[in-house]
Structure formats: structure tokens, C-alpha cells
Amino acid sequence: MSDLLTLAGVHTHIGRYHILQGVDFAVAEGGITMLLGRNGAGKTSTLRTIMGLWQASSGEIRLAGRRIERSATPDIARLGVGYVPESMAVFSDLTVRENLVLAARDGPLDDTRLEWIFGFFPALRRFWLSRAGSLSGGQKQMLSIARAIIEPRKLLLIDEPTKGLAPAIVMALIECLKEIKRAGVTILLVEQNFHAARELGDTVVVMDNGAIVHRGEMAALAADTPLQEHLLGLSLEAHQ
């Protein structure tokens, strides 16, 4: 598999804070790369820097070979990058339909694609005309993911989609992300839930203090409890 996204020596400063301190890793095309690490390790900052929401102060970010570290966020999105932030950031004043209409930049909603999404998230069909602000946390997460895939994307950046959700909804989300991967979408996923990380991850990158401290196969890390404890402070089991 070739690499769809590569980061080389990426540094990010927010005010006087040096958040990312030379991040290097690659995301293989068509797979799911897990981005793990303790709280404050720099995972969300990495996604935000890739998305252009925070400007990298130095280093290179390439998407399909094209440098994007100086590109504006909308231009990065238009290259086929979907972003699902930790906060979900659904537009609560807008209906489910309006949220998806906005996300479909290039024209009206595609019925076939919409049916594909309803297959994952039937609740969105049911609450089509409800205000997004009135949805439950799980439904908002579904809407946030649906918004990111309402049009074909090359790469999805997803930040802790299972955080705070009930186990049954987590299972549904895992199935959904597997299906999205089967559709050929590459995913870079920040996740703290061990079950989700083990189920979904092909490869894994671990961060600490704004830098990458481990790269490898997810299965290998899942099988190595001492390594988990060394890298994450706790075993992945304890992160459930």
C-alpha cells in the first residue's frame, strides 16, 4: 500500500507553546491508522494541523504527494479530506438535512449515497427534519460522521468518535467505520477505546509530548501489554 498522507518534521506552535515537536508518520492508503497517546500528547493538535486549522510552523505535510502545510482549511477539505472533530461540531441550529446539505459542497444530495449512509445510521432518516441540537450524543456523532462522508472523500480525520457514547452505539460506530474503510476511504483515527482501536486499526502511531514515539502494526501493539504500558502509561485494556 502506498502512503496517502505523510508528515515529516512537523512543528506547531500555539502562542508561546510548542505543541507538535517534529511529528513524522505516514498513513497508508485504504487502511485505518490509529493515533494513540496519553491526554495532552498532541493527537488532536496533529489532526488540526493536518486540516490546516492550526498552521504548522515548520515541516512538511503531503496529501497524495501534494504539499498542504501552507494550504487553507477549505482548500484542504476540497482535496478530499473529511474532518470529524472531538466536539462533533454539528450545527445545532440547523436540521439534520441542512447539516448534510451544507456538507454536500458540489451540488444537491446524492440519493444513492444518502441511502448508503442511512444504512449505517437509520436514526438520521428518522430525525431528518429535526434540529441537530435536539439529537442525543450518539446521534450527533453519527451526523458528524455522515457529514464527513456525504460526498466521496480520500481521507477521514476522526477524533475520538466513541468518547462518552454507550457501548451499543460504540459497536454500531465500529461497524460503520469498517464499512467506510471497505468503501476505499483512508482513515486516521484518534481513539482511546481499546476495543475500538483493536477492532479497527491496521497500523498504529503513538504520540507523547508532541512527538511520535512508536509506529507499527495495531495487532502487534494489542498483543504486547508491557509495550502498551510503556507507551501509554496504562495497558489498552485499562483505557476501555
Q: Which stretch binds another protein (CB under 8 A): 35-43, 90-98, 195-203, 224-232?
A: 90-98
Task: Output the smallest distance, CB 8 to another protein, in A.
Answer: 23
CB-CB contact of 125 with 115 (8 Å) = no
Please give the Cα distance from 216 to 109 (Å, whole number).
39
DSSP letters along 21-49, please?
EEEEEEEETTSEEEEEESTTSSHHHHHHH
Task: Output the smallest distance, CB 111 to another protein, in A.
Answer: 18
- Residues 6 or more apart whose Cβ sits within 8 Å of residue 150: 100, 103, 104, 109, 110, 113, 114, 117
Q: Which stretch binds another protein (CB under 8 A): 13-21, 73-81, 185-193, 219-227?
A: 73-81
Please give the Cα distance from 212 to 84 (Å, whole number).
22
Binding-residue pattern over the window 137 to 156 for another protein, x denoting contact by CB under 8 A: -xx--x----x---------
User: Which one among 94, 109, 211, 227 touches another protein, defined by CB under 8 A?
Assistant: 94
Instruction: State which residue, 195 or 215, has the beta carbon closest to another protein.
Output: 195
The answer to the question of residue 91 lying near another protein (CB under 8 A) is yes
User: Which one among 1, 14, 89, 238 touches another protein, defined by CB under 8 A?
Assistant: 89
Binding-residue pattern over the window 98 to 137 for another protein, x denoting contact by CB under 8 A: x--xxx-x-------------xxxxx--xx--xx-xxxx-
The answer to the question of residue 164 lying near another protein (CB under 8 A) is no
- Full strand arrangement of the beta sheet holding 58-63: 17-28, 3-14, 58-63, 66-67
The answer to the question of residue 201 lying near another protein (CB under 8 A) is no
Q: Side-chain half-sphere of 66: how many Cα atoms within 13 Å?
A: 10
- Residues 6 or more apart whose Cβ sits within 8 Å of residue 18: 11, 12, 210
Residue with grid cell 507538535, as numbered in its chain = 20
Number of H helices, E strands in the chain: 10, 10
Contacts to another protein by CB under 8 A: 51, 53, 72-74, 77-78, 83, 85, 89, 91-94, 98, 101-103, 105, 119-123, 126-127, 130-131, 133-136, 138-139, 142, 147, 166, 168-169, 171-172, 175-176
